Structures are given as structure tokens and as C-alpha cells.
């Protein structure tokens, strides 16, 4: 199991994927909003989305888990 982590602190603006969806390495899985900028969060490895841990509107810090891949 691998987790996708936040690269910076911000608000989860949008979760692009759904649980059970297959993602590829480099694919955007979420978008954070920080300082009026949209920051895409990408999966470093491919896999199936096991669980979404952060919800849209949540504030997260650097290295907080956003979702789990299996």
C-alpha cells in the first residue's frame, strides 16, 4: 500500500479520483488551493485507489495523507 501525500499545506479544493479507480504514475489525483493558487497533486506510482482520506474543503499540512493506493 502506498499513500499520496500533500506537497504543501492548503485546502483540498477537488478530489479528482474515486475509490476503486485505477491511476497511473504521474496522474493528477487531487487539487489543493493555497495562496489563491491551484496546486495539482499527482500519484508517484500507479495503482488502485483503496481509500480517500481527505475530503474536499479539508485543510491539510505538508506530508498529510490524501489517499491510499494498493
| pLDDT tens-place string over residues 12-57 | 999 999 999 999 999 999 999 999 999 999 999 999 999 999 999 9
- Rounded to two decimals, the pTM is 0.91
Number of domains forming the structure of the chain: 1
Q: What is the pLDDT of residue 29?
A: 98
Domain span at 32: 2-69
Is residue 3 left, alpha or beta, with left meaning phi > 0 and alpha meaning psi from -120 to 50? beta
CATH number of the domain that 52 lies in? 2.40.50.100
- Residue 59: in which H helix or E strand, if any? strand 59-60
pLDDT on residue 1: 86
Amino acid at each position: 500500500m502506498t499513500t499520496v501525500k500533500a506537497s504543501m499545506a492548503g485546502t483540498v479544493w477537488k478530489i479528482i479520483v474515486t475509490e476503486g479507480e485505477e491511476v497511473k504514475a504521474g496522474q493528477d489525483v487531487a487539487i489543493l488551493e493555497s495562496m489563491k493558487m491551484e496546486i495539482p497533486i499527482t500519484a508517484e506510482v500507479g495503482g488502485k485507489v483503496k481509500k480517500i482520506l481527505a475530503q474536499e474543503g479539508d485543510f491539510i499540512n505538508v506530508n498529510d495523507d490524501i489517499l491510499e493506493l494498493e
